[in-house]
Amino acid sequence: MIRKPVRAQVRSTSGTWAFQAALDRRGLGPVAGVDEAGRGACAGPLVVAAAVLRTGDAARFAGLTDSKLLTAAARDRMHDLVLERALDHAVVVVPADEVDAIGVHVANVEGMRRAVARLGTHPGYVLTDGFPVPGLTAPNAPLVKGDRVAACVAAASVLAKVTRDRIMAELHEELPVYGFDVHKGYGTAAHTAALLEHGPSGQHRWSYANVAAAAARLGLEPPPHRVARGVPTAGVVQNGGPPQTGGGRPATRRGADR
């Protein structure tokens, strides 16, 4: 259900807290923000977070914005501040095999539903980044570039990205040949070269076009039951650009014993 507050005045002087302030004035608080990290990556999990910030806490969150615009050190500091000051938060990790099984968009929507459902404080309204999310348990609305215009969405963005970056650093310890600690599973030139040399791992998303292509070149098949029929082949984001089409369990060569 998507519902916009009737005649809620958004005051530009409130900055990234304007949407939350307007909803609070209409009695629609507390307001939760929801965002994800890793949608465009071709390896690692999709991480979705929800955050509810306290009304009147704007001064404590100076500099809070889209996590991609912050340095790693600034993200870590803001992550800890959100954990300390937020009224409530929840983080959902969707593993790569689930992304393959149901498709990245469905996984993203389902992850957002789970994140909101896991909040101990039931929100009066939910703001999502970029697109509407059906099936939420509260009235909600999408915001274009929500992580840059709404503080609660930015807070969720920080939680999701820092959590995912730390997971990718751990995966690097298990699978160092791919360089997950550097590119975080996105389709950089170095990651592509590693895929073509070593083939995909069980932490790669086999439903993504570049992963499937690398596997095919090396005569590799996905782990059994990994990619569901009917799931469209996903594109991959190269260095933060638009999607391009076309330790984990190792892949299996065609004809080899499994």
Task: Tell me what pLDDT residue 75 has.
Answer: 97
In contact, 65 and 145? CB cutoff 8 Å: no
Mean confidence (pLDDT) of the chain: 86
Q: Which domains does the chain have, with CATH numbers?
A: 14-168 (3.30.420.10), 176-253 (no CATH)
Task: Tell me what pLDDT residue 245 has.
Answer: 36
Nearest-angstrom CA–CA distance, 154 and 141: 15
* Both tokens assigned to 191: 């990651």
In contact, 15 and 148? CB cutoff 8 Å: no
Count of CB atoms situated within 10 Å of the CB of 223: 18
Nearest-angstrom CA–CA distance, 198 and 177: 8
Taking only the tens place, the pLDDT of each residue in 176-186 is 999 999 999 99
Is 129 marked within a binding site? yes
Is 36 marked within a binding site? yes
Taking only the tens place, the pLDDT of each residue in 70-126 is 999 999 999 999 999 999 999 999 999 999 999 999 999 999 999 999 999 999 999
Is 35 marked within a binding site? yes
Taking only the tens place, the pLDDT of each residue in 191-221 is 999 999 999 999 999 999 999 999 999 999 8
Task: Tell me what pLDDT residue 221 has.
Answer: 86
Task: Tell me what pLDDT residue 231 has.
Answer: 54
In contact, 47 and 90? CB cutoff 8 Å: no
Higher pLDDT, 6 or 140: 140
Task: Report residue 222's pLDDT band, with 50, 70 and 90 as the boundaries.
Answer: confident
**Residue 131 in 3-state DSSP?**
coil
In contact, 23 and 5? CB cutoff 8 Å: yes
Nearest-angstrom CA–CA distance, 52 and 90: 9
Question: Could you tell me where the DSSP H helices lie in 140-256?
Answer: 146-149, 151-174, 180-183, 189-198, 209-217
Task: Tell me what pLDDT residue 233 has.
Answer: 52
pTM of the model: 0.84
- Whether residue 256 is predicted with pLDDT greater than 50 in this model: the reply is no
Task: Tell me what pLDDT residue 15 has.
Answer: 80
Nearest-angstrom CA–CA distance, 101 and 207: 8
In this structure, the strands spanning 236-237 and 243-244 are: antiparallel
Greatest mean pLDDT among 10-14, 100-104, 244-248 lies in 100-104
- Whether residue 242 is predicted with pLDDT greater than 60 in this model: the reply is no
Taking only the tens place, the pLDDT of each residue in 135-144 is 999 999 999 9
pLDDT cut 90: percent of the chain above it: 77
Mean pLDDT of 231-248: 44
13-to-6, 17, 19, 22 alpha-carbon distances in Å: 20, 9, 11, 12
Contacts of 59 (CB under 8 A, 6+ apart): none
Task: Transcribe 3-14 into DSSP letters.
Answer: -PPTTPPPPGGG
